[in-house]
Structure 1
Amino acid sequence: MNILDDLKMQYKMGGVAHRLIYWNVGCFLVSLVFFYDFKSGSFYFPDWVALSTELSAFGLKPWTFLTYSFFHDGFWHLLFNMVVFNFASSLFLTFFTQKQLLGLYILSAIFAGIAFVTGYFVLNLSASIVGASAAIMAVLVAVTTYQPLMNVRLLLIGNIKLWHITAVILLLDLMQFRLDNTGGHISHLAGALFGFIFIRVLQNGTDLSQIVTGFITFFTNLVKKSPSTPFRKVHKNYAKPAENRASKIITKDKAQQQIDEILDKISQSGYDSLTKEEKEFLFKAGK
């Protein structure tokens, strides 16, 4: 199995968090090819990718309220966000589902985008924004709202309460609000607010992530082709021994049993714990 097959398998077997990271990294690679000026050493994102505060831009390109949250203005911007997202999403998935994580990411990005545009309209400023920081902040604040006293072990520091980490990050945003990247800080705080609202509403019995789930299900069913049922002619072969049929069922059961054992191993120790043979078997079984 080559590296590409290994990445495909990790994407296929990984959860929503891993796939969102893959999408962010993929969009960054795309931006290096199409939106990076090597002479100036900076990115220039068009208004059909980045979220602009100009009505003529976001009014005609409403999808930018989401696409901006998958692009990053630099490698370190991407790396820091993905490290924090991996940390926050792993804690979030301890208590909530994959669908809730996806719903929170998408809805918080849209909410933060609206707050960014509104804030700059009030301030009479014009700018554009990219980055997943707002959605990541929503995930971090959401799990902190649900379990603020959770102990988190940090390298060189030791055990610390989760709410301490979140409070420091929020405080840094507030301190830099008027210094630079005002639009970014507006979206960060808006994302944090949405994460808090998401959990409070969920605790009252309303799961906002179902909006995203329902939307995805609707369009999936819309584009899905209706299954065709061609005419099949049935032949009876009385000369075929019954043992062959039984042996196929046994072989299938053994294969399924091996798949289940590999999946259990992934859930306990992670995908990287698999041997080369197990990865190849799982990749072939998934085709």
Structure 2
Amino acid sequence: MNILDDLKLQYKLGGIAMQVIYWNIACFLVSLIFFYQFSTGQFVFPNCLALSSDPQVFIFKPWTFLTYAFFHFGFLHLLFNMMVLNFASNLFLTFFTQKQYLGLYILGAIFSGIVFALSFYVLGTSASMVGASAAIMAILVAATTYQPLMNVRLFLFGNVKLWHITGVILLLDLMQLRLENMGGHISHLAGAFFGFIFIKLLQNGTDLSIIVSKVLDFFANLFRKSPTTPFKKVHKNYKKPTEKTSSRIVTKDKTQQQIDEILDKISQSGYDCLTKEEKEFLFKAGK
């Protein structure tokens, strides 16, 4: 199995968190090709992807309230965000579903984008923004709000309470609010606030992620082809081959059992512990 097949398999088995990370990486690779200026060594994103605080721009490009959360200004910007996203995702998905995760990421990004645009409009200045930081903060603060006293083991520091880590990050944003990248810090704090509200509403019985789930389901059903019912002939003397059916079920059970054993192995020791044969078997089974 080549590297491309290995990446495809990890994408399928990694769940929504791994898929969101892949989407961010893919958008970064696209931006390297189309938006990176070698003369200045900087990215220049068009206002159809980056979020602008200018009402004359974002009113006619409302999708930028989401697209900005998948692009980054540089490799280090992407690397740091993906490391924090992976950390926050593991915490959040310990307690909540993948649909709630995706809903929080999208809604957190949109809410933070709105706060960013309104803040700069009130200040009378104009700026643009890209980056997943605000959506990541929503996920991190949501997990912290739900389990603030969870112990997290950090290199060189040992066991630390989760709220200590999140508190330090928020404090740094507050301290740098009036310095450079003010728009980024405003969006970070907005994302944190949304993550807090998301959990509090969820604990009171209101799941905001249902909004995203219903919208995604609507578009999925819109583009999904309705299954056609083929014409069936009825033969009175036809007898169902019970032996072949039984054989097929046994084969399926054995295959499923092997898949379950491999997935258990991944959950305990990680994907890298699989042998080459096991990876190939999973890849073929996922087709």
Q: CA deviation at 1:76?
A: 0.5
Gaps spanning 5+ residues in structure 1: where?
Answer: none
Matches within 5 A, 1:158-173: 158-173=158-173
Matches of 1:85 and 1:241, distance apart in 2: 52
Question: Could you tell which deviates more after superposition, 18-27 or 53-62?
Answer: 53-62
Matches within 5 A, 1:208-287: 208-233=208-233, 243-287=243-287
SS for the counterpart of 2:160 is: strand
Matches of 2:252 and 2:167, distance apart in 1: 53
Structure 2 equivalent of residue 195 of structure 1: 195
Structure 2 equivalent of residue 25 of structure 1: 25
Residue 95 to residue 219, structure 1, CA distance change in 2 (3 Å): same
Matches of 2:109 and 2:241, distance apart in 1: 61
Q: Deviations over 1:28-67 (max 9, x none)?
A: 0000000000111000000000000112211111000000
SS for the counterpart of 1:95 is: coil
Paired residues, what number?
286
Q: What code does the residue aligned with 1:251 have?
A: T
Q: CA deviation at 1:14?
A: 1.2
Q: Deviations over 1:236-279 (max 9, x none)?
A: 677x9754443333222211221222222222222222211111
Over 6 Å off, 4+ runs: 235-238
Matches of 2:132 and 2:43, distance apart in 1: 16
SS for the counterpart of 1:88 is: helix
Residue 136 to residue 242, structure 1, CA distance change in 2 (3 Å): closer
Structure 1 equivalent of residue 121 of structure 2: 121
Q: CA deviation at 1:170?
A: 0.7
TM-align CA RMSD: 1.5
Matches of 2:259 and 2:280, distance apart in 1: 11
1:177 maps to 2:181: no
Residue 264 to residue 234, structure 1, CA distance change in 2 (3 Å): farther
SS for the counterpart of 2:39 is: coil
% identical equivalent positions: 73
Q: CA deviation at 1:92?
A: 0.8
Matches of 1:74 and 1:242, distance apart in 2: 61
Matches of 2:143 and 2:282, distance apart in 1: 33
Matches of 1:234 and 1:277, distance apart in 2: 44
Structure 2 equivalent of residue 130 of structure 1: 130
Gaps spanning 5+ residues in structure 2: where?
Answer: none
Q: What code does the residue aligned with 1:161 have?
A: K
Matches of 1:245 and 1:142, distance apart in 2: 49
Q: CA deviation at 1:171?
A: 0.8
Q: What code does the residue aligned with 1:70 have?
A: F
Structure 2 equivalent of residue 60 of structure 1: 60
Give me the TM-score of the superposition, normalised by structure 2.
0.96
Matches of 1:193 and 1:243, distance apart in 2: 61
Q: CA deviation at 1:223?
A: 1.5
Q: What code does the residue aligned with 2:175 have?
A: M
Give me the TM-score of the superposition, normalised by structure 1.
0.96
Q: CA deviation at 1:232?
A: 3.5
